[in-house]
Structure 1
Amino acid sequence: MINYFILQILPYISVAVFIIGLLYRLGRWANARIIHNITLTPAPTTKAGAMLDIAKEATFFRSLFKSDKALWAGAWIMHVALFFILAGHVLGIGLLGRQFAYVGLTSVETSELLSTLLGTFFGIVLLLALFYLLYRRIRINEVRVISAPSDYVMLLLLIGIVAAGNFMRFVPEWGIHYEPVRDYIQHLITFTSITPDMEVMHKPMFIIHLLLVQILLIVFPFSKLLHSVGMFAHRYIINRAYAEPASGLPNAVVKDQAADPKIEPKE
């Protein structure tokens, strides 16, 4: 019964909470007035330049590199490994590990082997990076004093997810192949009930892995992990092309009123 709930019902709940929570947070950010022009100089003079700066920051974490190189090393490696793990899950499950063969790089057998090896490699790198970040929070006093309990919980949750995934790779009898996972996902997408004979119903480690992922989806919009989305809004505010007056500044409203006295002041 519990397996059925985790595999059949909880996925819809977790995805719904994730999407609604994410839209709610994005809506709050979008409706917030920017009452101060806080563009940092030297700033780009065009929107294209601002977008380029944001892309560089999102890719290389330049500001973090300047402020804390030790943290940058762990965080950047962790995010790169996470990116490849997520991409590998989508391509590996969606294309059954044959993605390299489909683009003509290898044979089907070699593609499946590469998919497994790359997934294993980045899984190990990601786990080590997460342990490094946890070590920093525990051992470095300056980091420990500003760490909230939720910071440790999120790290432990991520470690649990990655550890369960790695365990399935290193212990094949506890693992699961691409085909039954894709079949299971197709059942979810088409709102088809899963059956007791499906392989996913009999893989405890996969169920644990999936349960932890769903918990992560539920808490994600309300946690600090949302920085992965909020970073783009934040960087846009401080990297955008300088404009005078800034959108939302009181003097911008005053100018509108001067042009048309009938305009009511905005609250």
Structure 2
Amino acid sequence: MVTTLIKRHKEFIKLVYVRYRKPILAVYQTLHRFGKSRKCYVCGETFGRFTRYKGGSAFFPEWISMLQMVGSDVDNFGCPYCNSFDRERHLFMYFDNLNLWLQIKNCNVLHFAPEAHLSKRIEREGPAMYIKADLFPANESISKEDATDISFSDNTFDIVIANHVLEHIPDYEKALREIWRVLKPGGTAILQTPFSNVLKNNFEDAGINTPTLRSYFYAQHDHVRVFGKVQLFRSMKKAGFIFRIAHHNDLFRSEEAYYYGVNAFEDLLRLVKPEK
């Protein structure tokens, strides 16, 4: 009976959230600004709490938590001031620490699903060519590009960024091959994507084909699988990449993940196309 009551309580909260989402978020963000225990790495504002993604982990299926997912921190997702989300803030931290901004100046950059704050920073660094790309462009500054059929020639880009993109692509191995193809020898791909430390192989099924089913089994309505770490990394190696993974715990103090609202278990998946 207790389980039934908890389930109904969650369903009721979800219904209210969906119906009154905008005013709830406005109040929610205002309340989160009180305090000084957290800081946004992107805008520099301090506050009490980050906003949660879709109510946070308490509203995700229990089995998702059992998979030990490495990826977005849904309980510390958004900055209540600039709306930067955790995986974007994390890239800023990695780029600063590893001086990756220097690789952007006068280079060719292809950026899939470009994040607003990261895009502005990349533009400031003065790349020779900066292509913001998406299968469904949100505005005219973004080019329509299919990651499985990139329109550019071989060996065009010095850097390709696809931050939490592969989990949306049905034929992700073809996308990996395309990214490898358009990278110059010695070029770098930043390919963050959520994966399970429990699963060895990817979990996906053709019958999981509605937003509701995908939300339950894959944790988000537009994800098409849950990656298993072993198979994901094997696919990346098969595409021809060399791993240059940067480990969070090697670069940052233990308290920084909490302070800046990022997932300490999400290392930087930095992949390199070998020199000829």
Pairwise TM-score range, normalised by the shorter structure = under 0.3
Question: What is the TM-score when the length of structure 1 is the normalising length?
Answer: 0.24
More helix by share: 1
**Higher RCO, 1 vs 2 (CA within 8 Å, ≥6 residues apart):** 1
Question: What is the TM-score when the length of structure 2 is the normalising length?
Answer: 0.24
More strand by share: 2
